[in-house]
Amino acid sequence: MAQRAVIETKEAPMFDANVAARVAEHVASFMVQPFSVADALALIEKQCGRYTRGAHKGHLRGWAAVSRVVEGGWKKDGPGEGNGHVEYPGRVTGVVIADRFSGKQYLAVGGSR
């Protein structure tokens, strides 16, 4: 039996400037080049918007869920034998920015492959 890949998803608030910058780097890596981090931040701001009142007024809205491979191995894509691919540790597989309260999804890049 083959070793399966372990994929972990972590969530972080987009109102934190450090989190927003790191998420923008991941989003830029998924886009067609040349797509800079500044372009990614502009895209995130356009899709998500900013808080207009409250404690986080003026900061980016939503929570980012970043999925990355913790332990490399085989990732099955569908039914059948040999239907899959190898995942390497440290690879970011997807980024989803959504609102936790309403469930609205603002931006999603990446995915299973």
Average pLDDT, the chain: 89
Write down the pLDDT at residue 79.
Answer: 87
**What is the spatial distance between Cα 52 and Cα 43, in angstroms, rounded to a whole number?**
18
Residues in Cβ contact with 59 at an 8 Å cutoff, skipping those fewer than 6 apart: 14, 15, 17, 50, 51
Average pLDDT over residues 77-83: 83
Residue 55, helix vs strand vs coil: coil
Phi then psi for residue 88, to 5 deg, are -105, 145
**What is the spatial distance between Cα 99 and Cα 18, in angstroms, rounded to a whole number?**
19
Tokens in use for 20?
């927003």
Confidence band for 113, pLDDT divided at 50, 70 and 90: very low
